[in-house]
Every structure is written in C-alpha cells, then in structure tokens.
Structure 1
C-alpha cells in the first residue's frame, strides 16, 4: 500500500509535467476518481507554474521539494521551497464558479489559452478540501493541499434501517468496530451532507483521529447495538493544548431518553481528567441550547466569530436554511488555571479583553511595550482556507516589517476568491502586534475576542467580513457577557443590516 514519497525538482518548467503525471498515478492508486485526480493535479501544476514564474530570481537554480502522502480517505501534497513570494495578481474574466464547473486540463487551458499558469492561485481552494500556505520567514515557505476521495465517504443506504419499537437506549461506550460506520451513518441520516465538519462522513478519517488520540469519542448504543448518539473532544490542530467538545448528535427516534445529557456528562468528565489546558465550544447562535450547556459546565464566553459557518446547515429532508451565515460564540473552560497574565493589550480594546479574561478566572495585566524591542527578520504566518465553511484563517507567528503587506495581500487574495470571512490570530504577548492592530482596523478588521492556547498561549482574534451584511439582532447570546460582546462587535461593523 502506498504511503508517502518525496520528489525534488529544479525550478524549471520541464520538471512539472512528469511530476503531475506521477501524482495522477498515485491518485489512482489511493482511490481518487478521475475528477478528483484532475483537481489535485491541476492544483499542483498551477502552484508550481506560479512559483517558478514569479518566486525565484531570474536565472537562479533552486530545489523544490514535493511530498505526496496517502492520508485517511485521501491525499495530501506539500510543496516546500525557498522562493521569494512576490504574489502578482492578474484579473480573471471568467468567474470562479464557472471555472470549477468542469475541471479538466483541457477546459482550463482553453479558458486561458495555452498557459494555465496565468490563472491565479486563488482558484485552487475551490477545488480542494483544504489549502494552506505556510510562510516560515527566513526558512522558506510551503503549500499544503488536501483532497478526499468521495467514494470513501458514507453513502446513502438503498434499504432504510428498520427500528423496532422495543429498541431503547442502553449504554455509553468508546466506539468499537462497526460503531465508526454507525457514527457516519447517524450524521448522514440527520444532516445529509450539510454538517460543517465533513470528517464525520469518512469512517477512515474518524478511525485515524481516534488512533492518534486527537479525537476522543463516545457513542450511545441501543439495545439492538445501533449507534444512536455521539459526542467527542477534538484537537483543533496537531499538538494543540486545548480541545473542543462537539460533534454532538442523537438519533431523533430515540430522543426523550436522556441520551444527550448522558453523553455530555461523560465527555465533560473525560475532559476534566485530561492533560489539556482547557476545553472550548463553538456555540451556534440561532438558538441558545449549547450556550446554556456551556454555562452549566463552567465555561465563559471569550469570542464572537461572526459568520463562522454557512447558512445551509439543515436536517435531512427538511428545508431549514438560515437567513444569514451562522455566527458562533467561543466559550472556554480553563482546566489549568492561571491567576494572572501580562499582555500587550491594544488600549482601544483593553477593557473588553480584561473582561473576557476575568470570565475564565484570569487577571489580565497591561504590560508596557519596550521601544527597543527586537523584531523578526521576516514575518512568519500560516494561512488556511477551510473550503467546507468558505472561511480563511491567518495565524501570525512572528511579526516583522513586512507583516502589514503580507496581510494586505492575503486579504485581497481571499476577498477576490469570495471567501466570506477571514479570522486573524495575533499573539498578545508580542508587543509588535500593537502597531499592526491599529493598521488592521484601518483595513476593516473587527475585534472578535480572545482564544487561549489557540496557536498562541494568549491569542487575540480579529475578523474581516467580506462584503456581507449581518443582522446582529439574529445572533442569540445567552449570557450577559455574550450579549455585551455581541454589541461590542456590532458597534464596530459599519456594514451591518439596520434593525427595523
């Protein structure tokens, strides 16, 4: 069984075609269909074309490393080099939606003559399940592209599952054997394919995450050994010090038997006995149910992510689209308490930041900046497009003089690519963030909140809303702090829907 391979090529165009053909053959081996192989192959070709065309000094000969890895239910391609990103833009006459309707080398070449490389790289994210650009500063950069095989996804069963009246809730357990497929079937039965975290539809991916211990899962089992409920703790990224509780679901046929209450109790108990610094929740805001659960278990609100999820999450066979993108409240429970932290807080938001920290039992103390503080040689950041949600994340790891220009470039790129919301994460312990924050707000970024241990021990979130108007009265906030935070964010947004 194919696992992984690394290929090193030179930065010349003759190297591209053989590598693309090799990737296409690997895609066939790991189970990608023709359309999926075309998508990932085009993404590789386009990325290499742009990199070789624009990101190296003329006449230089440099190595480009391409790693092709078989992952659970799909394929990941990583491109690494030491090129100089110049990020040129070219206006594209055809819409992105039209481009991805019929993805093939022939159709794309026809759109843009014989030179596919002229298509800007922001098209790629529409073709893939995940697309990340990692700027490592002086250590170069890398691009990670992931695609999953649709035939590995749970499919609708031709025969409906028969449930007798005698079947009832029996127990909660760690999933075993066929339970994994049962989890995927339960999500499909309830949501169709509209659930935001598409991992739930791929049993192989669930198994891999459970084996890696990055997903701690509990299932509710019926007397007839059916999976009738599920909940989990999930690491938001590899090596995270925090975990999210979620993927909570129960079979509507068995509701009223206390399944969800039992699942929540079990997973919260598991979290408290874990090594995580804290646990968090994305609480939807079209109702207050999850927010109330968080209050019951000692969570406090720390951020409002406006428009985090799409408006099309619905129960299968029931039309229940929201009138706007779903905003979520991040609620946090500190398992390892910190009495106080010294932070470089922007004066404008110092009061709100202190309130949010106070909610999780930590006193935030303003730290005076050092005007002689050293800055990095080059900014280090990671930007990731989450295609299933049509959002992007920018995580700034270190700030140098080029930080603002990089953020401007990424914001422009994502805006052109019709990404709905951009979330940007800064380090409150980095005094160089203070000057950048003021400039970010001039660009239209809005305060969102804090997020302990999300890439930084003390992360500050800003959000960019890409030409979408929100009605903040539809964002249901349960706690007084959540209401205050919603109103605080609302006051910054000059492009909102007026009430009434």
Structure 2
C-alpha cells in the first residue's frame, strides 16, 4: 500500500532550485533511502525536471510540474505529472547528454521507472527508488506520540462511556492521532465535519470513553454502508495507550452491541487481526462467534501498537458476528462443498435457518453481469455478480483478476447470496477454474440476505498457518479448513 507523503507544484521557471531538491532529499532520508543514495536522488529530481521543462513544457512559460512523493514498503516513490507537449519528452530515448544522465541516475539508484501518456490529463513519469531491506523510516512511519502500552505510563483518572456528540469530533481526531499518527486508513476520520455529516446521514454512530477532563481516550464506531442496513460493523476501535489494561475495548463494544439491539438491527460484525490474540479475546468475551477468516486482508505496512506475528506481511483477519434479539427467518441453499462448515457456523451462532443442500445444476444460459470495484487504500478488489452466464463467465472473471493484479491489488473478494440455488454452481466454478476459495459466511450481508464469502489471492502469498493466532477451538478448526481450501 502506498502512503502519501506530500505533493508539490513547481512552475517551469523554478527548476534547478536547490531548496526544492534539498527538501525532497530530506524526505528520501526520512523514508529510509540509504545515505549513499541521497545525492543521487537530489540530482535525479533536478535532471528529470529540467528535461521535462525543456522538451514538454518548452512552449508553455506558465507550465507546471506536480511532484507527488509516496512511500510503500520497499520503495521511495517520485511521481512527476505535467501537461505538456504530447510525447515531447521520452525518458527511454534521451536526446542529449542531459537525458542520458537521468537514465544513469535511475539505474544507479536500483530503481524502477515508468512513463505514460494520460491523454488530456497530460503525462506522468514515476520513479521507484528501492529501499534497504527492513527500512523502518521511524520519523515518518511512527510519529512521536505513537507508543506501545509498555512505553507509556498508565493514566490513573476515571473514565466513563457515552455516545459521541458532534462537539466531540475534534477531540476524537486528537485521540486517533495519539494512537495512529497520520497512518490511519480512513481519511475522513481526520475531518470533524465529515464525521458529523456521516453521523447525520445515518452511516456512523460513535461510542467513546472520556476521562476526567472530558477528553476522548477510546472509541468504537457503529458503521453502515447504507442508512437502512439491517446489520452494522463495529469498527474504528482504538484506545489511547495510557488508558490500556482497563478492558475499555470490551466495555465500548458491549455498549455498541446493546445500542444496535435497541435500534432494531439484526447483528454486529467485526474483524480481528490474527497476528495477536487481544482483539479476538475481547470479541469472545462478548459472545461473538467466528464466521470466517480472510487471508491477506490488511496491507503489510498498516501500523499496529501491538507486536504481532507475520510482521512485514499482509495480515489475515478473523471475522466475528454477534446476533441481536431480532431475527429474520431465511431458507438457504448451501453449496455441497461447504455445507458442513456452514451448518456448524450457524449452530454456533444460534441463528435458526432452514438449511438445504443446493441441487446440482450448471450456470445460467447467456452472458454474465459482473461489477468490480478496487479499494486502492487496502489494495483489494471486490466483485458483485448479478448473473453468471455460460457464454463468458470464466473469461470475464479472469480478465478482472488480471486487471486487478496489475493495479496492485493483493486480494479479491466476492459475496454471494445463500437464498438462491443458483449460487452453488457459481461457487464451484470460481473455485475450480478461477482460484477462489472459502472465506466464510456473513448473516444478513446482502440487503438482509445471508452470504457466502470467497477470496482469491492475487499476489505472491507468504501467509502461513503460524501467522494466524486462533483463540478458540472453533477458530482453529475454521482456520485449518480455510488453509486446506486454499491448497
């Protein structure tokens, strides 16, 4: 996953400005570029900028170059974007000695590079400077306030739990920053106005722990995709390290579950990382039940205050569900290949269902209806299948998977309704011909209908069973089943 560092817009007339080059050199150092390569980075910024200005912006005295600086796990990234003469500058075909210098610098930095025309949007040159192995970039990745519970003194004042108020949003952002710095994945969580709007729109309700000074020190969010969803997610859970060891997470989530029941929701779901046991233990203490395991769900460089297994790899999550007192009867058709594990999941959930094994049948005649979306923050692709037609289903899925992998996605997910016998043959084809495997079930997920979830890993996978800490016998059985399904 790429992390945005900064964006700088530079007029054509200012190329060669040493202050700019020095600034980017300092960013490279913070991001972990080896000291002996920093001068090369500084020179590369100058050479690329001058070449772009000379060959693509030569007829535009007001032309500008936009430099975006990013970092991913193994690379420091410089992205030059400009709107100049189409094909005026070609990095692969230097026109003079200056252009050859740029290429020499790129090769000397052990870098990857790309250049492409963006049509009316202009052109983009991107250079990825390889970082040394295990580069931590502490100044950028871990702001000074981000500490583990062992590194901070525990607070002694009292706390109490209540619903969030619109006037708490700035305090909530400050609490978030004290835990994650600027590394939290949901950008809107740093915007008090956006949080107030989501609350007004019925997509969010916060439960907070506040201290004796009325400062927010812990939070869980009741999250919906649509205001009329009949289930919600318990997410955005964090507690300031100073207020650890008080079971605040358990108390916050219990109040959220009680509120979900009060407003008539069917249940609460959540995801717990499996690299450490603590979030799973909190869920189990509240009677939540494991319903699935999604391998590679969290990007490798998402921060954690708690040391976990599988550091440096994408992180699996165990999905949990807690039914409320509200129920809706459903008749479900189970794919034969997963009928036993799904039946046991429902038994443990205590949700009454009319479970039937789907009859053997093929895909529907005709062409397919498939929609795909990419989550660039988490490097995930998500499929929605309206119809799987015999004419083109496998070909369409394979194309989407290849395109998603090329866009940097590491995993693809699909949820399918269990109230339709037509789901079973889709599951069979996705598993036998497209590389998908079982991820679990989720009650009421698809407009109130229970769903089976499948997953497909798109990048080279280093996740092992040892990376997954399963905190119950059922979780271990579910984990073993999914790793066997992966093959």
TM norm structure 2: 0.65
Describe the superposition over 1:182-232 as per-residue Cα deviations: whole angstroms up to 9, x where unpaired: 111211111123333333222222111111121110222222221111112
Say which is worse superposed, 361-370 or 178-187, in terms of deviation: 361-370
Aligned mate of 2:118, from 116, 120, 131: 116
Pairing partner for 1:458 from 450, 454, 477: 450
Alpha-carbon spacing, 1:370–1:484, altered in 2? closer, same or farther (3 Å):
closer
| Residue number in structure 2 paired with 1:430 | 420
What is the CA-CA distance between 1:447 and the residue it aligns to? 1.0
Q: Which residue in the other structure is 1:43 paired with?
A: none
Aligned residue for 1:409, secondary structure, equals helix
> What CA distance in whole angstroms lies between the structure 2 residues aligned with 1:114 and 1:309?
30
Gaps of 5+ in 1: 1-31, 36-96, 124-155, 495-500
2:85 and 2:304 map into 1 onto residues whose CA distance is 36
Q: Deviations over 1:70-94 (max 9, x none)?
A: xxxxxxxxxxxxxxxxxxxxxxxxx
Correspondence 1:469 to 2:471: no
Tell me, in whole angstroms, the C-alpha distance in 1 between the residues paired with 2:226 and 2:328: 26
Give the paired residue count: 362
**Which of 192, 215, 240 matches 2:181?**
192
Moved more, 355-364 or 266-275: 355-364
Q: Secondary structure at the match of 1:102?
A: strand
Residue-by-residue CA offset, 1:430-459 (whole Å, 9 max, x unaligned): 333322222211221111111122225121
Per-residue CA distance 1:409-437 (angstroms, 9 max, x = gap):
21111112221111111122233332222
1:297 aligns with 2:286: yes
Q: Does 1:485 align with 2:478?
A: yes
1:357 alignment counterpart: 346
Tell me what 1:131 maps to: none
Alignment partner of 1:287 out of 255, 258, 276: 276
> Contact 1:395–1:455 (CA<8 Å) still a contact in 2?
no
Could you tell me how far 1:318 is from its partner in structure 2? 9.7
1:269 is aligned, of 252, 255, 258, to: 258
Equivalent residue, structure 1, for 2:436: 445
2:90 corresponds to 1:101: no
Which residue of structure 1 lines up, in the alignment, with residue 24 of structure 2?
none
RMSD: 3.8
The 1:236/1:475 distance shift into structure 2, 3 A limit, reads farther
Distance (whole Å) between structure 1 residues aligned to residue 326 and residue 166 of structure 2: 38
Change (3 A) 1:437 1:117: farther
Cα deviation digits, residues 129-172 of structure 1 (max 9, x gap) = xxxxxxxxxxxxxxxxxxxxxxxxxxx999xxxx9999823432
Shift of 1:106: 4.4
Task: Supply the distance in 2 between the matched residues of 1:165 and 1:449 (Cα, whole angstroms).
Answer: 38
Higher relative contact order (CA 8 A, sep 6+): 1
Change over 3 Å in CA distance of 1:317–1:399 after alignment to 2: closer
Bigger mean CA deviation after superposition, 449-458 or 460-469: 449-458
| Distance change (3 Å), C-alpha of 1:212 and 1:472 | same
Distance (Å, rounded) in 2 between the aligned partners of 1:33 and 1:255: 36
1:230–1:353 distance in 2 versus 1, CA, 3 Å: same
The verdict on how the C-alpha distance between 1:365 and 1:417 changes in structure 2, with shifts beyond 3 A counting, is: same
CA offset digits 1:297-345 (Å, max 9, x no partner): 2221111111110122325799998232111111112225658643332
1:411 to 401, 426, 451: 401
Distance 1:274 1:107, change over 3 A: farther
For residues 90-489 of structure 1, the aligned pairs below 5 Å read 101-106=79-84, 116=118, 168-237=157-226, 239-257=228-246, 259-315=248-304, 322-335=311-324, 341-361=330-350, 362-363=352-353, 365-369=355-359, 375=364, 379-401=368-390, 402-441=392-431, 442-455=433-446, 457-466=449-458, 467-489=460-482
TM-fit CA distance, 1:102 = 2.4
